[in-house]
Amino acid sequence: MARRAAAQLPFSGGPGPGFGEVVDICRDLIRIDSSNYGDSSGPGERAAAEYVATKLSEVGIGSTLLEPEPRRTNLVARVPGRSGPALLVHGHLDVVPADPALWAVHPFAGEIIDGFLWGRGSIDMKHMVAMILTATREMRRRGVQPQRELVLAFLADEENAFTLGSRWLVNNHRELIDDCTEAISEVGGFSVQIRPDQRIYLLESGRKGVAWLRLTAHGTAGHASITSPRNSIGVLSAAVARIAEHQWPLRLTTVSGQMTRTLAELGAPSVLGDPEALQNTVLAPVAGMLTSSLRHVANPTVLKAGHSLNVVPDSAEAYVDGRFVPGYQEEFLDELSFIIGPDVSIDVIDLTEADQADPDASLVSRMQTALAAEDPGCKVLPYTSSASTDNASFAGIGIQGYGFAPLKLPPEYSFSSMFHGTDERVPVEALIFGARVLYRLLTGEDPHSSRAGS
């Protein structure tokens, strides 16, 4: 395990490139391949973490680098604040793999085309890492302290199961984050244009739980030319088909209920029905995210069986990614077990509890204020994410987590399709906007002031 002590280093301040440097930082990060293949076969996060450490060091902020395994690197740093409990500001450095043959441009080239920065991680989530670095560097250049002490964490392994990242940090170095009461990270703060005169910014204030399951069916092995009354693949396939076809009912929470009511009051299309019905509406860019947040989801993702065309295998396996609404974990697991049936065994590979943060917290009010200062008339709308993030790990030790990576997006931009998608890209102007909003949130000061570095 590598470790370097954090420290506040001497820094004289002075003018800098301003918030526009967020584009260069994000492009540099995209060009660092930190693909996570679900094991340790990839390049790891070390090169990206060392880049972040250098950017912090340039403005006098020392870092602690921690590696649970070689090249699987986490970084933690502190920025002294004026008062109040510490705020955890975090992002993950790993990205899902990308096949260059499927992309219009190379996924790790970091090219700017028609006002968009293209590349793997441009949305998930090196854009937020770049915004955090830019806002922090600008504070130091201007000689401004944040309102609260900041704990900056740049993490490994979010795209797998948090095992070498946020979970490992909580279990092995909790002392580095134990004074934090709230956290901000990804999958929130992005805009949706619901009317020509009204933009909303969806704030992630909760996350569905995760149940990764292995299903196993056993049968009788034999020659494939002979009738097989109990074929393990047949038994398993029937269970998998039932899961794929199951229609889960709506399960509204306090947050999602408030979200649906507010959308209705603003004249937006209803998210209570089929997501396909939203594809030609103003909510099309986020239809899948919002409708999936209102009900459980279970998707078969992997099948394993057999080794020879003429042999009936004695067992077959399937893997299922389950996501359950906060407050309904037991209901979800019980119903899924019933759907699968008694002939297939179920093993839980990973179970991450759902979590919710207070949508009425004062931090949320400050987010509204920071966004409205840069985009007058906008409205912040808390929602529950259909996916999980590193905030789930920190929720386990009482840190309330919010997704707030502010982006002012074009109406036609399909935000949800960028996550793990081909041709992932982020608008350049949205990056600069986000860095300014984040700076305003963390410092309470106007990023457009004439102080040094503006």
Q: Using pLDDT thresholds of 50, 70 and 90, give the confidence band for residue 274.
A: confident
Are residue 318 and residue 429 in the same domain, yes or no?
Answer: no
Model pLDDT, residue 6: 53
User: Domain span at residue 234?
Assistant: 209-251+296-353
More confident residue, 412 or 406: 406
Q: How far apart are CA 86 and CA 151, in angstroms?
A: 7
Across 319-344, b (16+ Cβ under 10 Å) vs e yields bbbbbbbbebbeebbebbeeebeeeb
pLDDT tens across 163-194, in order?
999 999 999 999 999 999 999 999 999 999 99
Model pLDDT, residue 223: 87
Are residue 215 and residue 85 in the same domain, yes or no?
Answer: no
Are residue 387 and residue 431 in the same domain, yes or no?
Answer: yes
Average pLDDT value for residue range 21-44? 96
> Would 314 be classed as within a structural domain?
yes
What is the domain-level CATH number for residue 79?
3.40.630.10
Which range is least confidently modeled, 8-22, 114-128, 238-252, 367-381?
8-22
Are residue 337 and residue 437 in the same domain, yes or no?
Answer: no
Q: In what helix (H) or strand (E) does residue 203 lie, and over which residues does it extend?
A: strand 198-207
> Would 286 be classed as within a structural domain?
no
Which pTM was predicted?
A: 0.91
Are residue 151 and residue 219 in the same domain, yes or no?
Answer: no
Last residue of a domain, one of 331, 353, 375: 353
Which range is least confidently modeled, 9-13, 243-247, 312-316?
9-13
Beta strands in 7-149 (DSSP E): 64-69, 72-79, 86-92, 112-113, 116-118
Are residue 393 and residue 326 in the same domain, yes or no?
Answer: no
Q: Across all residues in the chain, what is the average pLDDT?
A: 93
Angle between helices 428-443 and 126-142 (to 10 degrees): 50
pLDDT higher than threshold 90 for residue 234: yes
- Look at the block and give the residue holding tokens 């990614």: 321
Q: Sheet containing 425-427: give its strands across.
A: 112-113, 116-118, 425-427
Bridge-based pairing state of the strands 112-113 and 190-195: unpaired
> Would 61 be classed as within a structural domain?
yes
Are residue 133 and residue 49 in the same domain, yes or no?
Answer: yes
> Would 367 be classed as within a structural domain?
no
Structure letter (DSSP) for residue 302: E
Q: How far apart are CA 377 and CA 408, in angstroms?
A: 13
Q: Are 69 and 422 in contact (CB under 8 A)?
A: no
Q: In what helix (H) or strand (E) does residue 135 lie, and over which residues does it extend?
A: helix 126-142
Q: Pick the closest to residue 387 from 96, 98, 22 (CA basis).
A: 96
How many CB atoms within 10 Å of residue 377?
Answer: 8
Model pLDDT, residue 106: 98
More confident residue, 11 or 246: 246
Are residue 341 and residue 391 in the same domain, yes or no?
Answer: no
Whether residue 131 has a cis bond before it, omega within 30° of 0:
no
Last residue of a domain, one of 353, 375, 402: 353
Average pLDDT value for residue range 125-148? 97
Q: How far apart are CA 378 and CA 356, in angstroms?
A: 24
Are residue 28 and residue 94 in the same domain, yes or no?
Answer: yes
Model pLDDT, residue 9: 56
Are residue 438 and residue 305 in the same domain, yes or no?
Answer: no
> Would 273 be classed as within a structural domain?
no
Q: In what helix (H) or strand (E) does residue 205 lie, and over which residues does it extend?
A: strand 198-207
Which range is least confidently modeled, 10-24, 134-148, 220-234, 349-363?
10-24
Determine phi and psi for 199, rounding to 5 degrees: -115, 135
Are residue 438 and residue 393 in the same domain, yes or no?
Answer: yes
Q: Which two tokens stand for residue 99?
A: 């096949």
Q: How far apart are CA 308 and CA 396, in angstroms?
A: 45
Model pLDDT, residue 49: 98
Structure letter (DSSP) for residue 277: G
Q: How far apart are CA 181 and CA 86, in angstroms?
A: 6
According to DSSP, the residues that pair with 298 across neighbouring strands are 322
Model pLDDT, residue 451: 55
Q: How far apart are CA 251 and CA 330, in angstroms?
A: 13
Cα dihedral value 334, 338, 344, 346, nearest 10:
-10
Q: Pick the closest to residue 189 from 267, 257, 128 (CA basis).
A: 128
How many CB atoms within 10 Å of residue 437?
Answer: 27
pLDDT higher than threshold 60 for residue 252: yes
More confident residue, 385 or 16: 385
> Would 7 be classed as within a structural domain?
no
Q: Using pLDDT thresholds of 50, 70 and 90, give the confidence band for residue 453.
A: very low
More confident residue, 11 or 202: 202
Average pLDDT value for residue range 232-256? 95
> Would 37 be classed as within a structural domain?
yes
Q: Which two tokens stand for residue 157?
A: 């392994």
Q: How many domains does the chain have?
A: 2
> Would 4 be classed as within a structural domain?
no
Model pLDDT, residue 278: 87
- Distance of CA 67 to CAs 3, 196, 220, 280, 394, Å? 7, 48, 46, 46, 19
pLDDT tens across 87-119, in order?
999 999 999 999 999 999 999 999 999 999 999
What is the domain-level CATH number for residue 306?
3.30.70.360
Question: ∠ CA 280-427-152 to the nearest 5 degrees?
Answer: 115
Q: Using pLDDT thresholds of 50, 70 and 90, give the confidence band for residue 230.
A: confident
Average pLDDT value for residue range 307-322? 95
Q: Using pLDDT thresholds of 50, 70 and 90, give the confidence band for residue 65.
A: very high
Model pLDDT, residue 454: 40
Last residue of a domain, one of 353, 374, 396: 353
pLDDT tens across 364-389, in order?
999 999 999 999 999 999 999 998 89
Model pLDDT, residue 452: 43
Give SS3 for 85.
coil
Are residue 47 and residue 183 in the same domain, yes or no?
Answer: yes
